[in-house]
Amino acid sequence: MEISQKVFIEKLERAKECLGSTSDAEFARTIGIPPSTLNSQKKKTKGGKFPEDQLFALKAKRPELNLDMDYILLGTRRDVFETMEVEALKDMPKADFSDKTGLLVQLFMQCDDNGRAAILSVAQTMAGMANKTGHQNSDSTGGQSFAGDVHGGQFSTGTINNYGEKK
């Protein structure tokens, strides 16, 4: 993508700063392109194609450089984005998983696609039953169990039994 000459030069200056390059030629060699290629892209009236791909390749090849691509490409340092993210998330409610919920999520994540489909099917069935009867089990010791066959994520036969229900 071609960009304006001004934006190209701004990105180039930030990239050189991050790499500690003192000249365009040194920067070009560092990212693996001929200095003449960089110079010709820089001189285009509309600006040329900034060598983002080469910078990303350098970042992957040399992680110790700790290149801040947000700063180079957008002009805003990574820590600013991280601060904005923390600020945006601070008032969001925290997930409060009970032991059973955490166990359910853990077991769900261990399943293959068919197992996950079966768990979702049971959850939808149970939620539908609770909604129809107006009864939701809020007792942390209560629950249900299912016995039956699962084929392709669908239940073919089975019964749902209550257990641990307070009477």
Which residue from 43, 46, 38, 1 is spatially nearest to 19, judged by alpha carbons?
38
Query: Would you say the pTM of this structure is higher than 0.85?
Result: no
Count of all residues that appear for the chain in the document: 167
Residue spans of alpha helices (H) in the chain = 5-19, 24-31, 35-43, 52-61, 69-74, 78-89, 99-110, 113-133
Q: How far apart are CA 153 and CA 131, in angstroms?
A: 22
Break the chain down into helix, strand, coil percent, rounded to 5.
Answer: 55, 15, 30
Residue 3's nearest CA partner among 33, 37, 44 is: 44
101-115, 126-140, 141-155: segment of lowest average pLDDT: 141-155
Residue 21: pLDDT over 60 = yes
Residue 54 and residue 28 in contact, taking contact as beta carbons nearer than 8 Å: no
Class of the CATH domain delimited by 5-89? mainly alpha
Strand partners, 2: 49
Each residue of 72-82: pLDDT tens digit? 999 888 888 78
Q: Map out the domains of the chain as residue ranges.
A: 5-89, 99-163
Q: Is the pLDDT of residue 154 over 80?
A: no
- pLDDT, one tens digit per residue, over 90-130 is 877 766 666 777 788 888 888 898 888 898 888 888 888 87
Q: Which two tokens stand for residue 93?
A: 């409610």
